Amino acid sequence: MLTCLFTRRRIGAWLDGALDEPRVRTVAAHVTGCPACQREAEELRRLRGALQRALAPAAAVAEPDWTGFWPGVVRGIEDGRRAVPPARARRRWQPRWALGGGLVAAVLASVTLWQYTLAPVTGEPSVFVSSADTDHPLASVMVYAPHEKDLAVVWVFGLDD
């Protein structure tokens, strides 16, 4: 069984004549005595024959007739020279495109300026948050105050008792 495994790996090289003399004798001796390896060798021989027949050039293929090729190319070029070129479509100024382009540019400019006005310019925070301690041990006070307005929100936490 193990001998068949090693021999089957070498049958293709044996049929191609790519083995050295001692291995040729070993493989030939095994193939003559083993029916499974004989079938493998026969299948490889049939496969090689089919490939050689498929890859062999076909002798019955006729050479193509090229006698009318170049005259046809010359005739096509001459016909192309005689043809009148089509009239070019004249591009006209179209107010729809100009109006649309201007509208798009205006919208983009206004969105850009709007985004810059939303961001704080000074870099300072817009809301100040501070906390304070109370006399009550469980309570705390937080104060939220916007920078530009006279408004403060005071939250007291922990006095739910």
| Confidence tier at 128 by pLDDT (50, 70, 90) | low
Identify the pLDDT of residue 135.
73
Tokens of 145: 């105050």
Q: Assess if residue 77 is contained within a domain.
A: no
Q: Assess if residue 122 is contained within a domain.
A: no
- Sign, Cα dihedral of 12, 14, 17, 22: positive
Q: Assess if residue 120 is contained within a domain.
A: no
Q: Assess if residue 135 is contained within a domain.
A: yes
Number of domains in the chain: 2
Identify the pLDDT of residue 112.
84
Residue 41 has pLDDT above 60, yes or no: yes
What gap in Å lies between CA 146 and CA 138, rounded to an integer? 27
Residue 87 has pLDDT above 70, yes or no: no
Q: Assess if residue 22 is contained within a domain.
A: yes
**Domain containing 143: what range?**
127-157
Domain end marker among 13, 40, 55: 55
Report if pTM > 0.95: no
Domain end marker among 29, 55, 81: 55
Domain end marker among 38, 55, 72: 55
Residue 129 has pLDDT above 90, yes or no: no
Identify the pLDDT of residue 59.
55
Q: Assess if residue 75 is contained within a domain.
A: no
Identify the pLDDT of residue 139.
74
Residue 42 has pLDDT above 90, yes or no: yes
